[in-house]
Amino acid sequence: MEGRDIIVVGAGIIGISTALRLQSCGFKVQVLDRAGVAGEASAASAGAFAFADVVPLATPGIMKKAPKWLLDPLGPLSVPPAYALKIAPWMLRFWRASWRDRFAAALDAQARLNGFAKEALERQIAEVDGEPFMQRDGQLQLYEGAREFHASLEGWEHRRRRGVMFVHLHSPEAIAEIQPGLAPRFTHAGYTPDWLNTVDPRRWAEHLAHRFQQRGGVIGSADVRSIERHGAGAKLKTAAGDILASRVVVAAGAWSHHLARTLGDRFPLETERGYNTTLPAGAFNLRTHLTFSGHGFVVSRINGGVRVGGAVELGGLDLPPNFKRADILLQKAARFLPGLTTQGGQRWMGFRPSMPDSLPVIGASARLPNVVYAFGHGHLGLTQSAATAELVADLVSDRVPALPMAPYAPSRF
């Protein structure tokens, strides 16, 4: 049995960013993860810092589309029939979050967090000499025809009101000035110039982890099975023995609610199972991040290659992957980018931890206040990682956080 001032459970982008920030505040920090640094969802995301994505997934009227989810297992947002009954309570909360009163509050909270995350990322980049890991190429959100574009304008108005910079493009020719090679079916677009990507989300997380270790931080391999009170601190039970800590941060992604339950805290966390295929260098001359709004997927540049992925499959942790979803996205990308070379790709599926209101859980456990939760970021984990790290460090250091924390508080459930 050994002790550590703070144990961070989870070595994904949230956990590593948080550990690094706590370390900079003077704490002695150890990170524990059974799969290693970026061993789960952080390894193969689209690599986007999607600060412009301020609109929650639970939008007004979205539940009218629910029957299609069950009928189209390969659609952009689906619920596998084998999981439909189990996810029903979560879907009820999701439906309630889509009502206009709660949607407005969630929209404001997500916009505030993303705005703060943009500032926090720049601080993080400067702290770790991270500019070589960044791609500041903007993003094109693409639409097929005027009707689809006009249906998106409410979302763009939400962005404008919350300070997101963008330019609307109204012809294939205007789009081609930013990204040549798109099929002419895409007639309209919104371009967000401040959008940025990392060259590789795994390499970015590993870079942060390396800096953390250079400064004396410890990253260990352990399967943490439960947390319990131990005197003035906490005890983590693992297969290899017990570990003591003054404080614990739970940043275990899609598995976080299982750990929280050992303390008696229950959270309605579900998993957005995301799929992608990464093509080797030379597959396409991609100049900016592409979002195909009507099809629920993106195309991004990773290590000089191309990653095609996205969609949302609400299917939990145990169902086997359905890689037909990745194949469908790649087939669509080949139609939308006629010059795309689709050979030599590597498929992947990962679990995004998602709350029904699209907001993460950031705050202390009511049952054991020296345990702080930091999970549930959905598809915005990379985007909100530096911000979450600063907010957690403020809470642990007994400082007033930079944002009002009520929208993200564990007690909201």
With respect to residue 151, please indicate whether it lies within any of the assigned structural domains.
no
CATH number of the domain bearing residue 230? 3.50.50.60
DSSP structure class, residue 321: P
With respect to residue 166, please indicate whether it lies within any of the assigned structural domains.
no
Q: What is the pLDDT of residues 180-214, one digit of tens each?
A: 999 999 999 999 999 999 999 999 999 999 999 99
Residue 221 reports pLDDT greater than 80: yes
With respect to residue 133, please indicate whether it lies within any of the assigned structural domains.
no
**How many whole angstroms separate alpha carbon 102 and alpha carbon 84?**
24
Residue 150 reports pLDDT greater than 70: yes
Joined together, the tokens standing for residue 310 give 């996205």
CB 264 within 8 A of CB 28: no
**How many whole angstroms separate alpha carbon 267 and alpha carbon 27?**
28
Q: How far is CA 244 from each of CA 163, 315, 348, rounded to the nearest angstrom?
A: 44, 34, 36
Residue 381 reports pLDDT greater than 90: yes
Average pLDDT score over residue span 125-151: 97
Average pLDDT score over residue span 203-227: 97
3-state SS class at 325: helix
Which of 80-84, 122-126, 359-363 shows the lowest mean pLDDT across its residues? 80-84
Which pLDDT score is estimated for 67? 66
Q: What is the pLDDT of residues 30-57, one digit of tens each?
A: 999 999 999 898 999 999 999 999 999 8
Which pLDDT score is estimated for 315? 86
Contacts of 139 (CB under 8 A, 6+ apart): 48, 50, 52, 191, 192, 195, 288, 289, 290, 291
With respect to residue 114, please indicate whether it lies within any of the assigned structural domains.
yes
Average pLDDT score over residue span 350-363: 95
Pairing mode of beta strands 371-375, 361-364: antiparallel
Which pLDDT score is estimated for 1? 39
Which pLDDT score is estimated for 372? 98
With respect to residue 335, please indicate whether it lies within any of the assigned structural domains.
no
The residue assigned the tokens 């948080």 is 18
Domain, as residue range, for 119: 1-51+99-128+199-267+355-413
Which pLDDT score is estimated for 70? 58
Mind spelling out the 3-state secondary structure of 230-243? ECCEEEEEECCEEE
Cα atoms in the 13 Å half-sphere on the side-chain side of 383: 26
3-state SS class at 167: strand
Residue 336 reports pLDDT greater than 50: yes
Residue 153 reports pLDDT greater than 50: yes
Mean pLDDT of the chain: 93
**How many whole angstroms separate alpha carbon 168 and alpha carbon 47?**
24
**How many whole angstroms separate alpha carbon 378 and alpha carbon 271?**
8
> Phi and psi at residue 397, in whole multiples of 5°?
-85, 5
Q: Among residues of the chain, what percentage have pLDDT more than 70?
A: 97
Single-letter amino acid, residue 276: N
Pairing mode of beta strands 29-33, 218-221: parallel
The residue assigned the tokens 């390499």 is 203
3-state helix, strand, coil in the chain (%, to 5): 40, 25, 35
> Phi and psi at residue 383, in whole multiples of 5°?
-55, -45
**How many whole angstroms separate alpha carbon 233 and alpha carbon 164?**
42
Average pLDDT score over residue span 397-404: 95
Closest CA to 280 of 339, 337, 341, 324: 341
* Helix or strand holding residue 46 (H, E): none
| Residue 237: strand pairing partners | 226, 242
Average pLDDT score over residue span 157-161: 96
DSSP structure class, residue 248: E
The residue assigned the tokens 């900016």 is 288
Which pLDDT score is estimated for 79? 83
Q: How far is CA 160 from each of CA 163, 167, 383, rounded to the nearest angstrom?
A: 5, 10, 19
Residue 71 reports pLDDT greater than 80: no
pLDDT-based confidence at residue 239 (cuts at 50, 70, 90): confident
Closest CA to 360 of 6, 13, 7, 5: 13
Joined together, the tokens standing for residue 54 give 């301020």
* Helix or strand holding residue 183 (H, E): none
With respect to residue 291, please indicate whether it lies within any of the assigned structural domains.
no
Which of 188-192, 245-249, 309-313, 348-352 shows the lowest mean pLDDT across its residues? 309-313
Which pLDDT score is estimated for 337? 98
Q: How many residues in total does the chain contain? A: 413
Single-letter amino acid, residue 296: G
Alpha helices for 168-236 (secondary structure H): 172-178, 201-214
pTM of structure: 0.95
- Count of structural domains, the chain: 1
Joined together, the tokens standing for residue 143 give 């639409």
Which pLDDT score is estimated for 69? 61
Joined together, the tokens standing for residue 92 give 């009820």
**How many whole angstroms separate alpha carbon 343 and alpha carbon 303?**
17
With respect to residue 324, please indicate whether it lies within any of the assigned structural domains.
no
| Residue 279: strand pairing partners | 306
Residue 275 reports pLDDT greater than 70: yes
Residue 277 reports pLDDT greater than 90: yes
With respect to residue 191, please indicate whether it lies within any of the assigned structural domains.
no
Q: What is the pLDDT of residues 101-110, one digit of tens each?
A: 899 999 999 9
Beta strands in 259-395 (DSSP E): 270-279, 289-292, 297-302, 305-314, 346-354, 361-364, 371-375
**How many whole angstroms separate alpha carbon 396 and alpha carbon 383?**
22
